[in-house]
Amino acid sequence: MDTRQTSLIARYSARYSVRGGVGLVFLLLSLTFGLMVAHLTLQPVEMLSKQVQERMGDQDPEKVTAEVLDLLIEQAAPAVSWVLSKRETGDADTDEAEAEQADAWASYLLNDRPAMLSAIFLILLFGWPLIVAFGAFDLYAGDISSRQLRYQLLRADRGSIFFGRLFGTLITFLIVLVLLGLVVSVYMGAKLPLYGWGELLSWAFYGVTALAIVTLPYVALCAWISSSIGSSFASLTIVSLIIGGVPLLAMFARMTYEPASYISYLLPWGFQTRLFHNEPMQVVLACAGCGVQTALFGWLGYRKFTRRDL
């Protein structure tokens, strides 16, 4: 692999990805998804605040919104804790310890951090992997046996092309994520002026970083699938089925056999929420999981790309 060529290909790929149709669709899709999630998350607070304000008459709107939000957080905390907790293990002591840990985690997200932004990022985290599929399915597929790839193959080794395009896509994703974080934070700050901008932007920065880390294994998975399949449509279909199918399979399989829930660990689905954990060790473990999967999928993709007919 040649570092100069890899860097050139990465920059070229990132520079022109948005100018190609798929890149633009990906950008718009990401921003639309982010704003939609932000809007749907904030809407109940807004509506409830308006109703309370109408009943209470001349109350300070900001105070009413803060009280409504506190009430909502109080009501939502057990549900959030349940979502974040591991399911029952059958062992009472373990279950209790798990529940306590989940309560602390939920409290951290809802009380110690801007709660609504936490909610937005957790929802984004669930939808983002599928968005990644739309942005990275054609990393190589569609270009194999055609287009510019054949002009590049004489000039750069396959490893440089593989990693150049991979890094280029990651740069594009990072730019999109930063834009997404900014748009969501500004939207929330304007709609719900309860948090300071500093607090909001620092938590948004953390959220964007977490999303960026979870993006790595999914993009590497796309690179593997995309380098194995010539047709971009087939690549999109398979990538979407795998990314969307793994958590669904885990969910349905565990209904008949509890340990089958570990299927979700085949992808970051099993641990990706832990990137927002209150305990640093859990965050480190989640990052390590993403790193291992990125390396594995990346290696499989590299192996395929460097050996197959192009």
**Residue number, 87 or 307, with CB nearest to other proteins:** 307
Q: Which residue, 19 or 55, has its beta carbon nearer to other proteins?
A: 19
| CB-based contact 9:168 (threshold 8 Å) | yes
Tell me if 281 sits within 8 A of 299, measured CB to CB: no
Alpha helices in the chain, H assignment, sequence order = 3-17, 21-56, 61-84, 92-107, 115-136, 149-153, 158-191, 197-228, 232-256, 280-307
Lay out the site mask for other proteins across 153-192 (x = CB under 8 A, - = otherwise). xxxxxx-x--------------------------------
**Number of chain residues interacting with other proteins (CB under 8 A):** 27
Q: How far apart (Å, rounded) are the C-alpha atoms in residues 28 and 137?
A: 16
Q: How far is the CB of 169 from other proteins (least distance, A)?
A: 15
Nearer to other proteins (CB atom), residue 141 or residue 310:
310
Could you give the CA distance from residue 223 to residue 241 in angstroms, rounded to a whole number?
Answer: 15
Measured from the CB atom, is 5 or 293 closer to other proteins?
5
Phi, psi of 146 (to 5 degrees): -155, -170
Amino acid at 18: V
**Closer CB to other proteins, residue 30 or residue 160?**
160
Which position among 63, 86, 87, 150 is part of the footprint of other proteins (CB under 8 A)?
150
145: contact with other proteins by CB under 8 A? yes
Give contact residues for other proteins (rule: CB under 8 A): 4-5, 8-9, 12, 16, 19-21, 145-158, 160, 307, 309-310
